[in-house]
Homo-oligomer: A and B are copies of this chain.
Amino acid sequence: MPITPRTLSGFKDRLPKEAYAKSQMLKSIVTSFEKFGFSPIETPHLEYAEILKKQGSDEIQKEMYHFIDHGGREVALRFDLTLPLARFISQYKNELGLPFKRYCIGNVFRGERAQKGRYREFTQCDFDFIGTQSIGSDAEIIQVIFQSLSDLGLKNFTIHINNRKIFNGLCESLNAKEDTTEILRIIDKIDKIGQDSVSKELQEKTSLTLTQIQTLLDFIALKQEGDSLKFLSLLSPYKAYNQTLKEGLEELESLCEILAPLIPQSFYQINLSIARGLGYYTGIIYETTLGDLPTLGSVCSGGRYDNLTQNFSNEKMSGVGASIGLDRLLAGLEELGLITSSTPAKAILIPLNNLQYAYTTAKSLRELGIKIEVYPEVIKPQKAFKYANNKGYEWVIITGESEQATHSASLKNMQNGEQQNQLSLEKIADILK
């Protein structure tokens, strides 16, 4: 009995066009990372379950794929790249030398309920700078976000920047320090559920009074106008509230002083409502939205954390990093028409009579810098054009008897149907370039 070919629910194949678009996108992102000296590392997909167990929200723990292996060990598939990084840093910190920066692109697994656009296996794309508290490293991560998105051809996006310390200081000033995590979690939903629902939930689930909630909501609703440093100077009076608020605002000032000559102001702004729900951020945080696709959500988020390696050591290890939401960004680039080519090769060569002449012609064209597929059989033109169309080729090169006799090839543009006969290979290479 034949088996029905199928993937597991929540898992996804990528056909050539999509896989090629993704690979082109990754190539661009990797180049951007490497411009700043980030190095790749690799860790296994499978780890001891206990390495991945302690951190992470309860939900993620439930979603973890774990099982007993051949040797009786409890093992698990990684559900992010952060916990493996924490293990990696703890294990090799002497060899690596701190500060240490790395990028890591890899698949992670979460057995969450299947839903549209969410997959149980997906690719993460993380870059982190470990072992330094310098505000320069925060600035650099933001610079890398700017560079990566610019290199992908995006011209209209905003990096929204905030500092956890501002939130913490604000909660402190409202005598609600113990509720900070819960307040953050609720505030984080403001874009999704709106100010009224956030206010209601804060009343129900925290110790804040209605007046305090209004103070908080008024503060985070303050919008930057003009440049970031000017906005920060308007916020200066808040420094008097407490040391935490002071630090938070001063760090943002230092950051923006470094950023000013590096990134055009139109690409970043202070946004006091950015909360980043995850518990582990402790300093400057950011999210990135595309101006032309406001409902897409953040395509690159991150921030500073102070306790990366807490599962493995009592030593504090500070770091700063961000993660590009690859699938979301790919969907965005497609919607914006920034993904154009669908075939790695520029053209397909069709042999009408002689395979050997076809292969030597293709070889010569490759030596002239043209990527080229060869149809592997002698074929009739109409059938070949249909095949080329189906594969998404813009150009078809034809070699028949007359071309072979004149050491040439013919070139057909599939979009307008125009065919130029018996061109020299140099001429074809020029046209295709």
B-contacting residues of A (Cβ < 8 Å)? 2-9, 11-17, 19-20, 22-23, 27, 30, 33-48, 50-51, 54, 63, 65, 67-71, 73, 75, 77, 86-88, 90-92, 95-97, 99, 101-102, 107, 109, 111, 120-121, 129, 132, 134-137, 139-140, 143, 257-258, 261-262, 311-314, 343-345, 348, 355-356, 358-360, 363, 366, 371-377, 387, 390-391
Contact = CB atoms under 8 A, between A and B. Distances in A.
Given A20-B39, A43-B13, A261 B360 contact: yes
B312 A387 contact: no
Nearest to A44: B11
Main secondary structure of the interface of A (DSSP, over half): mixed
22 contacts: A2-B311, A3-B51, A3-B312, A4-B312, A5-B88, A16-B39, A22-B42, A23-B30, A34-B345, A36-B373, A37-B343, A37-B348, A37-B373, A65-B67, A70-B111, A99-B375, A99-B377, A134-B377, A139-B359, A258-B356, A258-B359, A262-B359
A320 B204 CA distance: 65
A314 B86 CA distance: 49
A137 B374 CA distance: 9
B14 A41 contact: yes
A14 B42 contact: yes
Given A92-B15, A107-B45, A121-B44, A73 B23 contact: no
Nearest to A4: B312
Nearest to A42: B14
Contacts of A139: 359
Q: Specify how many copies of this chain sit in the oligomer.
A: 2
A345 B44 contact: no
Contacts of A48: 6, 8
A345 B70 CA distance: 42
A96 B42 contact: no
